[in-house]
Structures are given as C-alpha cells and as structure tokens.
Amino acid sequence: MTIVETDLLIIGAGPTGLFAAYYAGFRGHRVAVVDSLPELGGQITAMYPEKQILDVAGFPSVKGRDLVEGLVVQAATADPNYLLDRTAVTLAEDADGVTVGLDDGTDVRAGAVIITAGIGKFSPRPLPAQGDWLGRGLEFFVPSFAPYTDKDVVIVGGGDSAFDWAVHLEPMARSVTLVHRRDAFRAHERTVQQVRDSSVRIITKAEVSAINGGSTVESVDVTVDGETTTCPAQAVVAALGFIADLGPLQHWGIDVHKRHVVVDPSMRTNLARVFAAGDITDYPGKVRLIAVGFGEAATAVNNATVAIDPTAKVFPGHSSEA
C-alpha cells in the first residue's frame, strides 16, 4: 500500500480545485489533488476546451483551454502532488486528520479535505436514435472546431452547450441546424438571440428520429408533429446534458441533498475536517458559476487552515501584503 501524506487534499482538478491548490500554497500548505480524469481541468478540458467563458473576473472572454492553462500555471506555485486518473473511494475522519482511500490502493492522509468535484463523474445522455453512429459522425462534445469545416452540422439540444457550439460552428460549417424537442430553451438568452440572428436553422418541437449513411453520417431524419423530413448532415452533435453520479462520496457520511454537498458559510460540511467548494456545493442562495467557485475555494482553504492548525487565523491578510 502506498501512503501519501499532505496537509490538504483536494478532490477534483477542475477550475475550482486548481484555484484551491494555488491558494493552499499561498497559505503555506503541502497540497495533493486527486481526480478521476487523466487530465487537469475537469469538465472544461474534457468537453469545452474551445468554449468562450464570459463570467470570469478580469476576462471579458476567455477560451476554456486558456483558462485552465492559466490556472495550472498559477497552481504550480504550490507544487501540488497530482494524483490523476484515480478515484477517491473511501473517507475516514479522526481527531487528527482525514484518510482518503483511492481506487489504486493509495491512502492519502491529510489534515483536511476540500471536495471540488463539480457534478461528480458524468456521462452524456444518449441520443435515442444514435445506434452505432458514435465516432462515425455523431459526437457528444466538440473539443475542436476544425473537423466541422464545410460540413452540414446538426446539433440536438436546447441548453448552453448546444447554443454555444452553434455560435462557434456557424462561421465555418456549410450549414448548422439546431433541433430541440421544445420551443423553449435553457440556454442563456443572449446566446439564444445570437443564434436567432445568425444563419443557424432552428427546428423546435422536433426530434432526430433516425441517422442515415454508410460508413459515416450522411443525413438525419427530423420529425415534427408526425411528419418527417430529411436534412443533410455529415456531423451530428448530441448536446443533451449529462447523467451525474457522485459515486462513493455518497457513502462517506457527508450530508448530501439532491446530488449536492451541503455546506455552511465557511464551506464546511457536517464533518469537521471536510470542506467543499464549487458546483458540488449547496446552500441557500447558491449560484453555480466558475466565478463563485473561485471565491468558495478561497473561503474553504482559509477555514480548512484552522482545522489543520488551530493556532492559525482564518483571514490570511491581503496577497498584496505578502
């Protein structure tokens, strides 16, 4: 058995976890970061590296991969011990610290833990008509726009991802058609209007009932009110959301409400040495934004510092005074 000893363990290497790692170093802690994905950046790296993010302070617009790159550089100042492609499966708290067991047999011993696991493990919701087309023209994510150049693209969905991808693919694709089963959308109103003002064709109260082609996708059947038409398509993007699973975390004795970890104003869970920050957290007035997660990370680290060292103060002083 391998034993890793650290002051602070962060579970989740997305934007909130990376900022928490940096801040742990700012507070003088040794820090380890575990994530079930093989790369840093969480959902952004896995699904939205090309997406323009508009709600991060100081950046009118920043591409997902560029934000992650900056956070990794910033976190490097803390010299974090990254334990990637591993899942935290057990947690045991005692008077002196917390022990977290990973699925490869490693035990991580820490003075405190911060959970920044986003929505937990996630898998895309399947397209009912997808058959065996995945990888042959059907995809769930758009990590790169270049492969869609001069293609007829059909995007299925009505959320932020569907509309964001429609905005970015419209200038380079031959055509973009967005198909949604309702006439109301979940995406940000500004992005919806941007798509409406573009050349993107929007078909509502509709479903993709079949995908057609040979070795790759050539067209899709779209059904509206029982009538089916065929649209040319060499690429289909199914942006139907995700099935989230908190996995073993649900069995750690942490207060979980509707797939979210309940925290108090200090970002502490019902366990004295376990904190949480980012999208996984829940409390009255919670807003799930990356910008909010950054603030929660700083709050969690500063309060975890006192759990690690009772003689420390919650407020660290201003970074400009360091």
Q: Which residues are annotated as a binding site for FAD?
A: 16, 35, 43, 48, 88, 122, 279, 320
In DSSP notation, 162-190 reads HHHHHHHHTTTSSEEEEE-SSSS--S-HH
SS3 72: helix
Q: Which of 206, 239, 211, 242 is nearest to 224 (CA)?
A: 206
Q: In what order do the strands lie in the sheet with 217-224?
A: 206-213, 217-224, 227-232
Give Dmax over CA atoms of the chain in angstroms.
71
Q: In what order do the strands lie in the sheet with 98-102?
A: 3-5, 107-110, 98-102, 88-93
Length of the chain: 322
Annotated binding site: 16, 35, 43, 48, 88, 122, 279, 320
Q: Is the dihedral of CA 42, 43, 48, 51 positive or negative?
A: negative
Contact 6, 108 (CB under 8 A): yes
In DSSP notation, 86-103 reads --EEEEEE-SS-EEEEET
Q: Is the dihedral of CA 66, 289, 12, 27 positive or negative?
A: positive
